[in-house]
Amino acid sequence: MRIDRMGGLTGAVALAALMVGAAPALAQQQSPVLDAMVESGELPAVGERLPSNPLVVEGDSVGKYGGTWRMGLNGGGDNGLIVKTVAYEGLVRYDHEWKTVLPNLAESWEASDDATEYTFTLRDGVKWSDGTPYTTEDIAFTVEMYQDPDYAANSWIDNQNNPMTLTVIDDLNFKFTFEKPNGMFLETLASTDGIHITSLQKAYCSQFHPTYNENADADATSAGFDGWALYLQDRCAWGWETIRFSNADLPTIYGWVIETPLSANAQRVTWTRNPYFWKTDAEGNQLPYIDNLDMRVSQGGVEELTLAALNGEIDFQERHIATNVSKPLFFDGQEAGGYHLGEVIPSASNTLVLQLNLNHLDPVKNELFNSKDFRVGISHAIDRQEIIDVVFTGQGEPFQVAPRPESQFYDEELAKQYTEFDPDLAAQHFEAAGLTERNGDGIYLLSDGTPAKITVDVISALRPEWIDMLEIMQLQLEAFGIDLELNNIDRTLFYEKRPAGEFDAQIWAGDGGIEALQEPRYYFPFSDESVWAYRWAQWFNGTRPEIAEEPADWAKEQMDLYNQVRAEADPEKRADLFNQVLAITKEQFPVIGVSLMPNSYSIVRNNLKNVPDTMFNAWLFPTPAPMDPVVWYFE
């Protein structure tokens, strides 16, 4: 930077001098903190630690080693932040734009035409953080553990709906075979779900399993556990399980390894660089650049983290602290805190999804909620602009639950239909839905003579603005003869109510705005999170057959189409099929949205370099990890 400000000949001379001076530094291939260990023979030379063909990660600039990245965990159980920062290392990964699947641990792969067979080749010479080679043996062991009924992990590896078998070809090559076609398998592998398969090391974890250690049960008992399965879970928790990060002995393939583990009493969780990490920058320097991670653990409140960020004690963070309410505060504090705000595009399409229960057990409400006219009427009765102005200081626009403008599936008609505030249209649709009589308070009467009251379950602890929005909607809808009752409950109860089927409506955010294809919960009855048609979703998944209900024909058609999507390996044909699913969604209008989720922001210290200005954020695209924090560095 200093060079830029000098001019003319002196500048050139200074530049030449600097280059000469910097030459040894450029030849640097590992962090200086490892030098002593290599010299003493404790650690092999960097060339021996790196694979023959390391994964090259390019940042905007070649960085320099050192420093500690400070951030904050919210409460003890915040494994999410760790996954999103450290643990996103699967066989493959996403590019920064969330479009293409790139090689990671696997160097290359091949898929069969019918999308049932996937053959992978591992990068040669990748090592675990303890220095032992990463091979197909570890993959085979992981599959074996996941498919062991006693080791209750839960993922695509042991998915009963589409069973998978593994064939090991040699040390580096292996093949997954699915019973049914799995066209989106690479997307699954590139998302957070992909880290399941890379989470267990055979050499370490096999010692807790009776197949490999006949004393496994006795060891578990003497360690204070009821059986080997619980002990194995404790020592070798899978994927992103919270306690996975509480065992510092567990070898990993992450850029950083645990130094102070996560525990119920940890006040900070710290990490140091993995000397065997298998990625380099464009010049062959081993990554990561940053030596240490320091995650302070708050006791569940974000106040301290917010102040710490304002005070320049957080180097990069988006999770927890980037709330709507704090945005002006962070904006004003940029200069004093030495940071700036980055742009974060959420994957959710909508701020609030009103999901009326189309599988209601009460026949009167069931009929009412299943009437499209009723849902359209409600949608027209909501003055969305008022909500946006009051709750979101004007950020966002009226929007239904639909793919976001950034998504390839964006469809303006789907996103905007029925969003205009129109009292006449609302009244017309209510009438078409059979609502004509009103009681003394002006509330419509249902066919059984009871007032039209909708009890809405909401967890305000999750998103405080939901209550603000609902209170406005309550007033707006009351004026049209619909009585909205807010039922603010705890998350556990919220989930318990779903199988019972006797709730009127539940509130959530609009997941699937960008990753519509992988997360179509609002577009058709896809998963347990399709609360609006919970019993139809059970029919689709076959998970809880005792409450499954045969879906309406249109939903069955969507399920059919989606099964074809799953079976299709060609992305273009897949998109075609999925657009047909969305067309039915547009026609049926199952759930009601309010407004487009406004962009969020991240706190980025000014001396932290190589941080992309804009990033997507989702659970399946675990920001910031896909943005390669291993090439971020402190200037």
Partner 1 sequence: MIGFIIRRLIAMLLTLVAVSIVAFAIIQLPPGDYLTSYIAQLASTGDQVDPRVIENLRRQYGLGEPFYVQYWKWITGIVQGDFGHSFEWKRPVWELIWGRLGNSVLVEGMAVVVMWLIALPIGIYAAVRKYSLGDYLATVAGFIGLAIPNFFFALILMYLAYIWFGTTMGGLFSPEFENARWSLPRIWDFLSHAWAPILVLATAGTAELIRILRANLLDELKKPYVVTARAKGLPEWKVILKYPVRLALNPLVSTIGWLLPALVSGSVIVSVVLNLPTAGPMLLRSLTTQDMYLAGAIILLLSVLTVVGTVISDILLALIDPRIRYGGK
Q: Which is nearer to partner 1, 117 or 294 (CB)?
A: 294
The amino acid present at 253, given as its one-letter code, is I
Burial class (CB within 10 angstroms; exposed 0-12, middle 13-18, buried 19+) of 521:
buried
DSSP 492: H
Kindly tell me which residue out of 495, 501, 548, 576 binds partner 1, with binding defined by CB under 8 A.
495
The distance of closest approach from Cβ of residue 263 to partner 1 in the complex, given in angstroms and rounded to an integer, is 7
Contact range with partner 1 by CB under 8 A, out of 15-23, 35-43, 263-271, 374-382: 263-271
The distance of closest approach from Cβ of residue 225 to partner 1 in the complex, given in angstroms and rounded to an integer, is 8
What is the SS3 assignment for 294? strand
The distance of closest approach from Cβ of residue 300 to partner 1 in the complex, given in angstroms and rounded to an integer, is 5
Please name every residue paired with 605 in a beta bridge, in sequence order, or none if there are none.
Answer: 339
Contact range with partner 1 by CB under 8 A, out of 114-122, 303-311, 320-328, 597-605: 303-311
How far apart CA 487 and CA 464 sit, in angstroms, is 14
- Interface characters, 186-205, with partner 1 (x: CB under 8 A): ------xx------------
Q: Which is nearer to partner 1, 230 or 425 (CB)?
A: 230
How far apart CA 101 and CA 617 sit, in angstroms, is 17
Whether 168 contacts 174, CB under 8 Å: yes
How far apart CA 582 and CA 473 sit, in angstroms, is 27
Q: Which residues, at least 6 apart from 331, have a Cβ–Cβ distance to it below 8 Å? A: 341
Q: Which is nearer to partner 1, 30 or 233 (CB)?
A: 233
Q: Which two tokens stand for residue 600?
A: 């969020």
Kindly tell me which residue out of 32, 47, 131, 300 binds partner 1, with binding defined by CB under 8 A.
300
The owner of tokens 């969780």 is: 269
The amino acid present at 620, given as its one-letter code, is L
Please name every residue paired with 465 in a beta bridge, in sequence order, or none if there are none.
Answer: none
Q: Which is nearer to partner 1, 477 or 509 (CB)?
A: 509
DSSP codes of every residue in 563-628: HHHHH---HHHHHHHHHHHHHHHHHH--SEE-BBPPPEEEEEETTEES--SEEEEBTTTBTTGGG-
The yes or no reply on residue 457 touching partner 1 (CB under 8 A) is no
Which has the closest alpha carbon to 312: 617, 611, 82, 608?
Answer: 608
Which has the closest alpha carbon to 272: 252, 289, 287, 258?
Answer: 258
Contact range with partner 1 by CB under 8 A, out of 232-240, 393-401, 443-451, 594-602: 232-240
Kindly tell me which residue out of 96, 175, 268, 453 binds partner 1, with binding defined by CB under 8 A.
268
The yes or no reply on residue 249 touching partner 1 (CB under 8 A) is no
How far apart CA 537 and CA 531 sit, in angstroms, is 9
Which has the closest alpha carbon to 255: 93, 388, 39?
Answer: 93
Contact range with partner 1 by CB under 8 A, out of 85-93, 198-206, 230-238, 426-434: 230-238
The yes or no reply on residue 437 touching partner 1 (CB under 8 A) is no
Contact range with partner 1 by CB under 8 A, out of 12-20, 113-121, 212-220, 493-501: 493-501
Whether 94 contacts 101, CB under 8 Å: yes
The yes or no reply on residue 77 touching partner 1 (CB under 8 A) is yes
Within 526-585, the residues that bind partner 1 by CB under 8 A are: 527-529, 541, 543-544
CA angle 551, 185, 229 (to 5 degrees): 90
The distance of closest approach from Cβ of residue 267 to partner 1 in the complex, given in angstroms and rounded to an integer, is 5
The yes or no reply on residue 298 touching partner 1 (CB under 8 A) is yes
Q: Which is nearer to partner 1, 302 or 627 (CB)?
A: 302
The yes or no reply on residue 313 touching partner 1 (CB under 8 A) is yes
The amino acid present at 551, given as its one-letter code, is P
Kindly tell me which residue out of 100, 167, 267, 599 binds partner 1, with binding defined by CB under 8 A.
267
Kindly tell me which residue out of 97, 249, 496, 502 binds partner 1, with binding defined by CB under 8 A.
496
Kindly tell me which residue out of 14, 264, 475, 479 binds partner 1, with binding defined by CB under 8 A.
264
The yes or no reply on residue 59 touching partner 1 (CB under 8 A) is no
> Going by DSSP bridges, is the β-strand pair 505-508/339-346 parallel, antiparallel, or unpaired?
unpaired
Q: What backbone torsions phi and psi does residue 56 show, to the nearest 5 degrees?
A: -95, 125
How far apart CA 121 and CA 143 sit, in angstroms, is 17
The yes or no reply on residue 436 touching partner 1 (CB under 8 A) is no
What is the SS3 assignment for 477? helix
Which has the closest alpha carbon to 472: 391, 562, 398?
Answer: 391
Which has the closest alpha carbon to 455: 525, 507, 491?
Answer: 507
The yes or no reply on residue 325 touching partner 1 (CB under 8 A) is no
Q: Which is nearer to partner 1, 267 or 579 (CB)?
A: 267
Contact range with partner 1 by CB under 8 A, out of 90-98, 281-289, 360-368, 522-530: 522-530
Which has the closest alpha carbon to 597: 422, 399, 374, 382?
Answer: 399
The distance of closest approach from Cβ of residue 194 to partner 1 in the complex, given in angstroms and rounded to an integer, is 12
The distance of closest approach from Cβ of residue 425 to partner 1 in the complex, given in angstroms and rounded to an integer, is 35
Q: What backbone torsions phi and psi does residue 578 show, to the nearest 5 degrees?
A: -70, -35
How far apart CA 567 and CA 584 sit, in angstroms, is 20
Within 120-179, the residues that bind partner 1 by CB under 8 A are: 149-150, 152-155, 158-160
Contact range with partner 1 by CB under 8 A, out of 285-293, 306-314, 401-409, 597-605: 306-314
What is the SS3 assignment for 106? strand
Kindly tell me which residue out of 21, 41, 224, 449 binds partner 1, with binding defined by CB under 8 A.
224
- Interface characters, 585-624, with partner 1 (x: CB under 8 A): ----------------------------------xx----
Q: Which is nearer to partner 1, 410 or 495 (CB)?
A: 495
How far apart CA 119 and CA 113 sit, in angstroms, is 12
The distance of closest approach from Cβ of residue 554 to partner 1 in the complex, given in angstroms and rounded to an integer, is 23
Contact range with partner 1 by CB under 8 A, out of 95-103, 203-211, 521-529, 602-610: 521-529
The yes or no reply on residue 269 touching partner 1 (CB under 8 A) is no
Contact range with partner 1 by CB under 8 A, out of 103-111, 167-175, 348-356, 525-533: 525-533
Which has the closest alpha carbon to 316: 342, 335, 291, 349?
Answer: 342
The yes or no reply on residue 242 touching partner 1 (CB under 8 A) is yes
| 231: enclosing H helix or E strand | helix 228-235
Q: Which is nearer to partner 1, 233 or 274 (CB)?
A: 233
User: Which residues contribute to the site for partner 1 (CB under 8 A)?
Assistant: 75-77, 80, 149-150, 152-155, 158-160, 192-193, 224, 226-227, 229-230, 233-234, 240, 242-243, 246, 263-265, 267-268, 298-301, 303-304, 307-308, 310-311, 313, 490-496, 511, 518-519, 527-529, 541, 543-544, 619-620
